[in-house]
Each structure stands twice: as structure tokens, then as C-alpha cells.
Amino acid sequence: MKASIDTRKVRFTRPRHDHELCIEDALSRAGALCEAQGARLTDLRRSVLELVWRGHEPVGAYALLDALRETHPNAAPPTIYRALDFLAAHGLIHRIESLNAYIGCSRPEKPHASQFLICAKCSTAAEIDDPAIARALSRSADGLGFAVAHQTVELSGLCPSCRREVGA
């Protein structure tokens, strides 16, 4: 499946970002990671992962299902949710809780606590995997006797493109 990229939505990337190469790299790393873990990255799961990586904005399950039906006409909601569960369990995608949406993981080889910058205007998101932030939150929680089971931080604001548009 060839992803159609709207480069206007690739807002948190460097000016010379090659998004086609970005997608190819993500899929290649996913295949290698699944193979190393003894997991099967089936054609369907790979298709869903590619759809997630089409842009750098979080995408909802039903939008993914609609896109998936272009190549898998019989796909149903359980199909997409099973694929998303697999991809998340193997660290290949993250769920953006506040948007009930998914985004590709930029570092699936290393389990990590993620922080996300989410544009309130265009919904583009970027992952900033900063271990110092994760440690500070864990230390603070531990100091209060709180046992952290899962850590995801979501920051809302304006991406560089939207800031320019509003003159901020």
C-alpha cells in the first residue's frame, strides 16, 4: 500500500524531512523488532501501522478502519482494534489518551515513558522521549507513595506552523 502524504500536516519535522523514507524506516524497524520478539507482523498489521504513520498527527481507530477498507474491504471494528492492540503491545504505536487516537512510536526498540506535544489547532503531535521528565515524575509520585503503572504526558499548545498562522 502506498501512503498518500499531506506534507502540510508533517509540522514537527525538520525542513528536509523525507516522510516516505520515515514510513519505510518505521515499517522496516517494526518488522525487525517483531521478528526479534517472535511476533508476527502480518500484512494486515503492517497495513494498519503504515496507515498510522501516514502523517504525524494522531489518527482514530474508525478513520484507520475507513482507510484500511480500501485494501481490506471486509475489515470490521474488531479487526482494527486487534491490530492496534498488537501494535501498542509491541511498542510500535502509542495511544494519545486525550484524543482517543494513535501515533507511531519513533523509538520502538526501547520501552519508554512518552511525552507528547499536541497542537490544539491542527492536532499534529510529536513525541519527545525525555528520560529526565519521566524520572522526575516517577520520583515525585514515589515521594507521595504512588506506584506509577503507566506514564504518558500530553502537552497541548500550538505547533510551529499554527503559531506562525496566528502570529504567536
CATH number assigned to the domain covering 12-166: 1.10.10.10
Using one digit for the tens of pLDDT, what is the confidence trace for 83-137?
999 999 999 999 999 999 999 998 888 888 889 999 999 888 888 888 899 999 9
Assigned C-alpha cell, 94:
502509542
Q: Return the domain boundaries, the chain.
A: 12-166
Q: Is the dihedral of CA 2, 89, 69, 122 positive or negative?
A: negative
CB atoms within 10 A of CB 67: 22
Q: Which residues is 154 bridged to in the sheet?
A: 116
Closest CA to 66 of 87, 47, 86: 47
- Assigned C-alpha cell, 43: 500484512
pLDDT tens string 142-163:
999 999 988 889 999 999 889 9
Instruction: Please state the pTM of the whole predicted model.
Output: 0.82
17 contacts 92 by C-beta, under 8 angstroms: no
